[in-house]
Structures are given as C-alpha cells and as structure tokens.
Chains A and B, each alone.
Chain A
Amino acid sequence: MSSLSTTVGSTWQYPARERARREALALGGVAVLSFAALLVVLTVSSAPFTWVMLGVYALCAAVFAWRTAARYPFIAFVLPGLSMYLLFVIFPTAQAFRVSLYEWSGIGEATKFVGLRNFGQALSSTVFYRALGHNLVLYVSIFVLQNTVALFMAVVLHTKLRFFQAYRAAIFLPGILSLVASGLMWQIILGSNIGMLSPLMQAIGLGSLVRDWLGDEVVTFWVLILVQFWQWMGLPMVIYLAGLQNVPEDLTAAARIDGANEIQAFRYVTFPMLAPAFTVITGLSFIVMFRVFDIPFVIAGPAGAPNGTTDVLGLVIYRYAFGIGASVSTSLQQGYAMAVAVVMFVALVAATTIQLVVLRRRELDI
C-alpha cells in the first residue's frame, strides 16, 4: 500500500515504515475477519449475539483506524461510511444473490437449494417478458418526452424571459411530492368515482371519449407514462438548463453570423455542447425506468391492473416477494422474486456501463 506521504527524505526510516505497514495489514486483516464473522452471525442467528458481534467489529475497526491514522489516514476517513454501506446495502445484495438459488417461502432458513431453476423459470415465463416490454416502452417514451418537451422547456427558459423563476419552480414542484400524495392527487383527476376529468369532458360534449382512465386495458398504460413524466419532468429540464449555461454564447453567435438559422445553430452547435447533460439524463432515466415501481403501484395496483397491461418488473418482484398487498403469507416465492431482481440488476449494471462508455465517447467525439 502506498499513500500520500508528506514525510520528506524518509529512506533511513525504512524499518519503522515496514513495521507500520505490517501492523496496518495485520489490524486490517483482523477487522476484515471480524466483519466476515459478523456477516456469518447475521445470516444464521438472531438478536442478542448479533449485537455482540457488531460491537466486536466496531472495536476492531476503531483500533485499525486509530493505529493507521498517521501513515494511512484515508482508512479512518473511509471506514465508517464504508462499513454502513457494506452492512446495509452490499450485504443484503449478496444475500439476495444467495436466496435466488433457493426455493424459499420467506419463513425460517432457506434450505432447499435449487441452483439456477428460479432463473430458468423467470426467463421462460411470459409475465417476465411482458413486464420487461412495458419497462422498455416506458423508457423509450420518457426518453422521447425528455428530449423534446423537457429540452424545449429548458431552451425557452434559457432565453431568460420573464417569470423564469416561477416557471422553473412550478414545473419542478411535482418532484418533491411523495408517491402516496401524487398517487392520491391523480385519483382526484382520473379516478372512477371522484375523478374530475370525466364529468368535465361530459360537460363540454366529449362524453364519447371518456374512458375508465385508471382501469382501461389500453389507456391506463399511457396514463402511467404521463404521470411518470409529470412527476419528473423538472429534473431533465434543470439539468439541460445547467448544460445550456455552459454553452458559450459567442459560439452560437458565430454560427448565426456564418449564416446558420436558429434551428441549425441549435442542431449543430448547442445540442452537441449539451452532450454531458444528455449522458446524465439518458443514463439516469434508464436506471429509473427499469426499476420503476412507485407510480405503477399507486396508479394501477400491485397486479398491474387491468389484466397485467401495466405490469412492470418492479411489480412482478413485489408480488412474488410480498404477495398482493403488503401482508406476508406462506405461499410466497422469495427465491423466484430474488431471481427476477438479480436478472434486473445484472442487466442494469451491464446496460448502464455500456451506455456510459458509448455516450462518454460520443461526448469526446463531439
């Protein structure tokens, strides 16, 4: 291990340095071992003993950080956050991978090892592909809306017209609402008993176009896309807006002087300069749209009603892990749910990495 050492001319101190390095390695080893022991205890045992192991790990980590603070200060800085992250996110992720290899109802220990059977089941079921297809359509639709409507909003706002702040504040507002609030709020417009849209349409003579907005096999999925866009249209807008502020004005002015019209200047000068913003928005919305859960859940319910036409992968996992509604029953297939989640996660990591590499290269090309 090397570190940013500020000691100058320390070659003659070699034995002391070597000793410190060995001590750090030994203490680090002890800390790692105690962490591993903690994880094992957490996998198999219950309450009081786990806290003892947690205390043992905390002690080992503290000694490790304390003794190495002089030579390897980064250890003390990184360790607290890293420990929490490993314990509460990475460890559960690893557990999910393990559970996906078992047939398990969620009660007691997972003992019936079935290998890759859950994966085989998932990858050969029509429900899985139907949900995946919906995720894809959702992503493409949101991608289009973000790069037309949200981009245009940013471009218009960038001209610094009046009420700039008010428009920006209003359009971003849905992003801070909780899913419970926004789900109920849309009930009041689209719901079948208290919705305002249908009476309004009847009042102005469009009664023939009224649908059961939240329970129609065709319309509800597009309502879902609309609500999804509604809640998060502010984010791509402000990201593009920040990107536009980085485009030097002389560049577009130069293009205009060279005879480009407004649209050409945007197409060939401004938009290429927005490549970093485009990368962020595309990557982000890909991740969000493939693990989407909240809005389909509140709009259409856990079954992807009606008739699975609004089903997405997040709902499939939820149904197998928790059943319809949040009550835990015995007929659950946790292993299967985790297998679907693992497939989703692996695909997300792969696709995101590829996207980022391709889009970053595109940034450089431009």
Chain B
Amino acid sequence: MTEQVVQARLPLAAERHVARTRRPSRLIALIGQHAFLVFFSVFAILPGLLSVLASFKDLTDFYNNPLGVPAVWHWENYTQVWTEAHIPQSALNTFTVVVVTVPIVLACACCTAYGITRFKFRGSNVLYYLFLLGMIIPAQLTILPQVLLEKNLGLINTYAGLILPYIGIHMPFATFILASFARTLPGELHDAALIDGANQWQAFWRIMLPLLQPAVATVAILNSVSIWNDFFFPLIVSPKLPMLQVAVYGLVGQYSTNWGQIFAGVVLSALPLVVAYLMLTKQFVAGLSAGAIKG
C-alpha cells in the first residue's frame, strides 16, 4: 500500500520540478544569481583595475580627473620605475629566494610527511601535532628571536638569511598538507614495493612521490606566493638586500606624491603572480580547498 503511494508521488514531484524550471520566476532567480556574483566579482577586481588605470596617470590627472581614464597614457611611469627604483633587481632577488627555498621545503616536507604517515613509531603523532602547532604560532611571537638568531649566525642582509628561516617557517603548512594527503593514499602499493625488494628510499622515490604530486603542486604554488608577497620579514632581516615588496613599499618614500609611478611599481610587482594565477587558476584554487577539507 505505502509503496504504491511513494511510486505515485515520484512522477508528480518530477513534473512539478520541470514545470518550475519553465516559469519566469526561475529566470528572475537566475538573473539574481548572476547579479550577485557580478557584484562581488567587480568588488574583488575593482581596486586592481583602478590601480592599473592610475599607473598611467600623472599628478594633474589625479586631481582634475580622479574618476576617469587618463587624458594621456603615461607609459613613462613604467620606464621610470623600471630604471630608477631597483624593481628589476629586487624582483630578481625575490625570485632567487623563491627558486631556492621552495624545492628545499618540498624535499624536506615530503620526506617528513612520508616519515610520520607511513611509519607508526612512538611519537609519530606527537611530531604531527608539533608541526600543526607551527601553523598557530603568530609571526609576531617569533620575529624578534629570529632576528637575534640571524645576527648570531651573521645572516643579516644575505640570501641565506631569508632562505634558511623560510624553510623552517614554511615546513608546518607544507607538512600538514602533504601528510593529510599522504594519509588518503592506499598503503598497499608502498607495502608491495617493499615486499618486492625495494628499500625505503626507493619506495619513497618511485611510489610515494609520484602519488603525492597534486599536493606537491599545491604546496609549491602557495609557498611561492607567500614568499613573493612577504614584506615584514625581509624588511627587518634584509634591509640592504632589497626584496620586491620592500622595494615597492619604498616607492612611497621615493616618489612621495607621484602616485602614477607608485602604482606602476605596484602593478609590476603583482603582474607575474596575476599572470601565473590566471593561467593556473585551477591549481591555485582547487588544490587549496582540497587540502583544507582533507585536513
């Protein structure tokens, strides 16, 4: 009896659903949804777009014509900033630090993640939580002792003075993402390799690492972005070896009210990341959320 009722109701509900999609209220809802998303998309990119516009203005444009496009497009803002303000040199410095640091972080973090997820030893969980703790530690707590440490090691104003602490600082997040990803991988493959006579290193290198690849890409991207964008650490530990964000911040002092040049510098400093982001949006976004959910 009850089964019949359920069967009788099913097509009814489906019909109602079809009818609903054709109704004009559905169209209004769709327009509403798009309007909502367009509003927040514009909200998200408007400051960036206005900065690009501002980077082509000269000072009179800012005061006479604050809202419109520049009367004359001042490309010389860019050439001036490029030649006078150490932007290429500091970008190269930052790039060097990123290129050296990120592979080392990945190597260390992959090994650590493998070590604490594939071996059950006393303290493996303690180690996991110790690394987790690193994600809570506020930078304000550690920055001052880190500066002292750098002084005692003679690392102020050197590449190593940025690279070595960055390795330590980025370990927790990298290990966390890689370990939570490693936990979801099947252990059988790894065990089979060991039974077939591979040693631990071979099992890690040939089995584990290829499987970890998606998480490795996520961590590589996020670490590169955060090092590229870092401002306070280089400001304090390497004032004489200019890093990109410090140089851009310096523009405010150098050009005081020449906002056109300042925004040209801002646009130049953000451009490489934005281009990479637009080409690899999926890796930027999907990797991040997947890592967050699995943790």
A residues adjacent to B (C-beta < 8 A): 1-4, 6, 42, 45-48, 50-51, 54, 69, 72-78, 80-82, 84-93, 95-96, 99, 106, 149, 152-153, 156-157, 159, 161-163, 165-174, 176-182, 184-186, 188-189, 193-196, 199-200, 203, 230, 233-235, 238-239, 241-243, 246, 256-257, 276-277, 280, 284, 287, 290-291, 293-294, 314, 317-318, 321-322, 326, 334, 337-338, 341-342, 344-345, 348-349, 352
Contacts and interface: CB of A to CB of B under 8 A. Distances in A.
Interface centre among A84, A156, A243, A334 (most CB of B within 10 A): A84
B95 interface: no
A181 B270 contact: yes
B144 A199 contact: no
Contact of B270 (A78, A178, A280): A178
Contact of A352 (B136, B169, B245): B136
Contact of B245 (A178, A185, A195): A178
Contacts of A99: 144-145
B19 interface: no
A42 B147 CA distance: 12
A88 B165 contact: yes
Contact of B47 (A50, A89, A185, A280): A185
20 contacts: A3-B119, A4-B119, A6-B194, A81-B111, A85-B134, A88-B164, A88-B168, A89-B142, A169-B281, A178-B228, A179-B229, A180-B231, A199-B66, A235-B288, A238-B286, A242-B292, A280-B292, A314-B138, A341-B140, A345-B136
B6 to A, nearest CB: 9
Q: By DSSP majority rule, is chain A's interface helix, strand, loop, or mixed?
A: helix
**Interface residue range, chain B:** 35 or more
Contacts of B119: 3-4, 73-74, 77
Contact of A2 (B10, B45, B121): B121
A176 B273 contact: yes
A187 to B, nearest CB: 8
B99 interface: no
Interface stretch (B31-39, B71-79, B85-93, B210-218): B31-39
A87 B118 CA distance: 25
A153 B37 contact: yes
Contacts of B134: 85, 89-90
B1 interface: no
B293 A78 contact: no
A77 B289 contact: no
A241 B151 CA distance: 45
B138 A78 contact: no
A162 B38 CA distance: 12
B30 A188 contact: no
B209 interface: no
Interface centre among A51, A165, A246, A317 (most CB of B within 10 A): A317
B146 A92 contact: yes
Contact of B112 (A78, A233, A345): A78
A62 to B, nearest CB: 14
B185 interface: no
Given A4-B120, A162-B34, A196-B67, 10 more contacts: A3-B119, A47-B154, A80-B108, A81-B171, A84-B168, A85-B134, A89-B171, A166-B41, A177-B48, A178-B245
A317 B235 CA distance: 17
A281 to B, nearest CB: 8
A4 B124 CA distance: 12
Contacts of B114: 77
Interface string B115-131: 11011111010010011
B27 interface: no
A51 B154 CA distance: 9
Contacts of A3: 119, 121
A89 B13 CA distance: 59
A293 B131 contact: no
A339 to B, nearest CB: 11
B290 A233 contact: no
A233 B44 CA distance: 9
Contacts of A200: 67
Given A180-B266, A257-B10, A149 B152 contact: no
A165 B138 contact: no
B145 A176 contact: no
Contacts of B189: none
Contacts of B293: 239, 242-243, 246, 276-277, 280
Contact of B168 (A85, A171, A172, A338): A85
Nearest to B141: A341
Nearest to B239: A326
A193 B66 CA distance: 10
